[in-house]
């Protein structure tokens, strides 16, 4: 792993997800052409109120932060002024085989399926936080459990029926909060298929689990989703 940096920023307003995406894109690529897919890159971006955090390999920082960003919340235009507070080497904890940990966070995830000639996306979780079980969705549970197991290093198959260890919830965002003023145009991205994940279990793959400390999972990672945070239980 290349030298990781943790960049801490402060803003004068709470950023929305599109603003996080714009900040990440400016620091990661700057004026260079951004690729359509960067799923294999290691990074995490999230905010706690007005503070914004980015973990990224030092050699991937090709651009720089802009002094301000414009975004809309409930139809009102905000000028978000942002500055860097500090930039430090990121040192992460090493977790080991059979350590018991608790993992939680919100990820964006969907499964693709065909309906006639149309490719559609669906969330594997229903409104009650249960796996969808009708005939069309009969494979979504195994598909999602495999994805989680492969992505976090914990055997989710063995704990998926234990509610004290494995909990999923659908998360919804108000559509009118997802606007960003970009070159005087209003860009809108809908955030669907969001799932809150709570998992407690033994580590089966330490390398995969440790990667979660500096890399998010799922879709729309640059918008601040897929940050799973880890707490060691024993």
Q: Rounded distance, CA 207 to CA 52, Å?
A: 26
Residue 117's pLDDT is what? 86
Among the three residues 58, 89, 120, which one is the final residue of a domain in this structure?
89
Q: What is the span of the domain harbouring residue 154?
A: 100-232
Indicate whether 95 belongs to any domain: no
Among the three residues 89, 110, 139, which one is the final residue of a domain in this structure?
89
Indicate whether 194 belongs to any domain: yes
Tens-digit pLDDT profile for residues 6-21? 999 999 999 988 899 9
Q: Are residues 122 and 213 in the same domain?
A: yes
**CA terminus-to-terminus distance, the chain:** 26
The whole model's pTM is what? 0.89
Q: Are residues 71 and 149 in the same domain?
A: no
Indicate whether 203 belongs to any domain: yes
Q: What average pLDDT does this structure show over 146-153?
A: 97
> With left for phi above 0 and alpha for psi between -120 and 50, is residue 214 left, alpha or beta?
alpha
Residue 40's pLDDT is what? 82
Residue 31's pLDDT is what? 84
Tens-digit pLDDT profile for residues 168-186? 999 886 554 444 544 444 5
Q: Are residues 27 and 139 in the same domain?
A: no
Q: What average pLDDT does this structure show over 182-207?
A: 80
- Number of domains present in the structure of the chain: 2
Closest CA to 60 of 228, 223, 214, 219: 214
CATH code at position 194: 3.30.70
Pairwise pLDDT comparison (219 vs 74), residue with the higher score: 219
Question: What are the residues facing 105 on neighbouring strands?
Answer: 197
Closest CA to 95 of 225, 210, 221: 210
Q: Are residues 225 and 124 in the same domain?
A: yes
Q: What average pLDDT does this structure show over 44-68?
A: 96
Indicate whether 133 belongs to any domain: yes
Q: Are residues 50 and 148 in the same domain?
A: no
- Range in 28-32, 105-109, 178-182, 216-220 the model is least confident about: 178-182
Tens-digit pLDDT profile for residues 75-121? 778 889 999 999 999 998 999 999 999 999 999 999 887 778 888 88
- Range in 13-22, 110-119, 144-153, 222-231 the model is least confident about: 110-119
Question: What are the residues facing 185 on neighbouring strands?
Answer: 182
Which range in 16-20, 71-75, 208-212 is most confidently predicted, on average pLDDT?
208-212
Indicate whether 94 belongs to any domain: no
Residue 184's pLDDT is what? 41
Pairwise pLDDT comparison (141 vs 100), residue with the higher score: 100
Q: Are residues 82 and 114 in the same domain?
A: no
Residue 42's pLDDT is what? 94
Q: What is the percent of the chain with per-residue pLDDT over 90, rounded to a whole number?
A: 62
Q: Are residues 190 and 227 in the same domain?
A: yes
Task: Output the DSSP codes for the chain.
Answer: -PPEEEEEEEESS---HHHHHHHHHHHHTTTSPPPS--TT---EEEEETTEEEEEEEGGG--S---SEEEEEETTEEEEEEEEEEEEEE---PPP-TT-EEEEEEEEE--EEEEETTEEEEE-SB-TTS-B--SGGGTTHHHHHHHHHHHHHSB--TTTTT-TTTEEEEEE---GGG-EEEETTEEEE----SEEEEEEEEEBS-HHHHHHTTT---SB-GGGT----EEEE--
**Average model confidence (pLDDT) across the chain:** 88
Residue 152's pLDDT is what? 97
Q: Are residues 46 and 131 in the same domain?
A: no
Q: Are residues 80 and 106 in the same domain?
A: no
Residue 119's pLDDT is what? 84
Q: Are residues 164 and 194 in the same domain?
A: yes
Q: Are residues 146 and 224 in the same domain?
A: yes
Q: What average pLDDT does this structure show over 17-31?
A: 92
């Amino acid at each position: 792993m290349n030298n990781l940096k943790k960049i801490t920023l402060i803003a004068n307003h709470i950023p929305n997800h599109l603003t996080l995406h714009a900040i990440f894109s400016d620091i990661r690529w700057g004026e260079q052409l951004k690729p359509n897919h960067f799923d294999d890159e290691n990074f995490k971006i999230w905010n706690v109120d007005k503070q914004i955090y980015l973990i990224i390999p030092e050699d991937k920082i090709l651009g720089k932060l802009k002094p301000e960003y414009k975004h809309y919340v409930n139809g009102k235009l905000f000028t978000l002024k942002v500055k860097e507070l500090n930039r430090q080497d990121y040192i992460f904890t090493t977790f080991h085989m059979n350590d018991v940990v608790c993992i939680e966070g919100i990820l964006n995830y969907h499964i693709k399926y065909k309906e006639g000639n149309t490719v559609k996306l669906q969330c594997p979780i229903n409104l009650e936080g249960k796996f969808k079980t009708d005939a069309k969705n009969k494979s979504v549970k195994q598909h999602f459990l495999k994805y989680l197991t492969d992505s976090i290093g914990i055997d989710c198959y063995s704990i998926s029926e234990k509610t004290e260890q494995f909990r999923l919830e659908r998360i919804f965002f108000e559509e009118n909060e997802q606007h960003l003023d970009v070159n005087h145009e209003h860009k809108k991205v809908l955030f669907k298929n969001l799932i809150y994940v709570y998992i407690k279990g033994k580590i089966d793959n330490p390398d995969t689990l440790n990667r979660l400390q500096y890399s998010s999972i799922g879709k729309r990672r640059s918008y601040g989703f897929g940050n799973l945070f880890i707490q060691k239980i024993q």
